[in-house]
Amino acid sequence: MAVNPGSLASHARWAEKFGFPFPIAVDADKKVAAAYGALNALGGIKRSVFVVDRQGKVAWAKEGMPGTDEILSAITA
């Protein structure tokens, strides 16, 4: 799943354009981003990837745009 402050309509357009097969949750008030430390000093979003385990704990986190292989390694570790 992805989380983004954009609108539901913008998420649907983006997912269709890029073939993203996962749901994108709307975080309009940026509370989720703030809770995960993914806001910059100006309140903008820092692109980040979090892997959350089955118990709901963050098992892996990385700022920026890690490659697919790096993310898959984190998921399968």
Average pLDDT over residues 16-21: 89
Residue 27: per-residue pLDDT: 96
The pTM for the full model equals 0.78
pLDDT over 80 at 77, yes or no: no
Residue 4 tokens, joined: 């983004």
Q: How confident is the model at residue 75 (pLDDT cuts 50, 70, 90)?
A: confident
- Euclidean distance between CA atoms 41 and 77, whole angstroms: 32
| Cα within 13 Å of Cα(71), Cβ side | 12
- Euclidean distance between CA atoms 77 and 61, whole angstroms: 13
The sign of the dihedral angle between the CA atoms of 38, 21, 58, 67 is negative
